[in-house]
Structure 1
Amino acid sequence: MKKVYFLKTCDTCRRILKDLNLEGFEQQEIKTNPITANELEEMYQLSKSYEALFNKRARLYKSLDLKNKDLSEIDYKDYLLQEYTFLKRPVFIIDNQIFIGNSKKVVEEMKK
């Protein structure tokens, strides 16, 4: 399976997607087509952590003052299902590997 979760209004996502050959990838824009509990569970099985999927740079993270709260894996899961902006993006799933986020290291690993 080849799939990418992204946000079309995110400049970084657009830049990364433009640089890659996405032929054969299922593309899911998370604002218009939010992730489901099953899709999140699939990501969790590959990453072994909801926190790894969680975007701590989201504006809502700061406005809800979540950095000063002790969040559990269940809390991260609930927030990810409630609000699309909490998903660290883009998320690529290639066979049984997951690539989360837009750091140079992750993007380079994904390109290989």
Structure 2
Amino acid sequence: MAKIYHLTTCSTCQKIIKQAEAAGITFEKQDIKTQAITPEQIDEMKRLAGSYEELFSRRSQKFRPMGLHERSLTEKDYRDFILQEYTFLKRPVVVAGDKIFVGNNPRVVEEMIQELK
């Protein structure tokens, strides 16, 4: 069974979950707002995705107010910010075995649905 890291309040996440479930995919769901991501979980996501930067959302409403757009961030910075603030995780993240699907790009969502059907 695939695990999805999402926000219950995110309409895009909910649309993707509904679309995947209609294709017969079931998820173990983790709402990252109510159940924080653990260091072990983010490290496993990084192992599958290749970098913490790949998991980091520059669209977070906190990105600019914190002045992060003016800094050169390291992998450690990306990891630390994701662990400190759930909105920095690009959503949704789906982990199924050794496969990971990050974000809501239509191509990524379609690939996830095709792989997990």
Whole-Å separation in 2 of the counterparts to 1:28 and 1:63: 27
Structure 2, gaps ≥5 residues long: none
Whole-Å separation in 2 of the counterparts to 1:10 and 1:56: 16
Residue 49 of structure 2: which of 24, 34, 47 is its match? 47
Aligned to 2:3: 3
Residue 93 of structure 2: which of 91, 94, 103 is its match? 91
1:62 deviates by 1.3
1:2 deviates by 1.6
1:16 matches 2:49: no
- Structure 2 residue identity aligned to 1:80: I
1:69 matches 2:80: no
1:80 matches 2:90: no
- Structure 2 residue identity aligned to 1:78: D
Residue 105 of structure 2: which of 75, 80, 103 is its match? 103
CA-to-partner distance for each residue in 1:43-76, whole Å, 9 max, x for gaps? 0110110000000001100111211100000000
1:88 deviates by 0.2
**TM-score, scaled to structure 2:** 0.91
Whole-Å separation in 1 of the counterparts to 2:88 and 2:6: 12
Kindly tell me the number of residue pairs found equivalent between the two proteins: 111
- Structure 1 residue identity aligned to 2:112: M
**TM-score, scaled to structure 1:** 0.95
RMSD of Structure 2 on Structure 1 (CA): 0.9
Task: Report SS of the residue matched to 1:59.
Answer: coil
Task: Report SS of the residue matched to 1:88.
Answer: coil
Structure 1, gaps ≥5 residues long: none
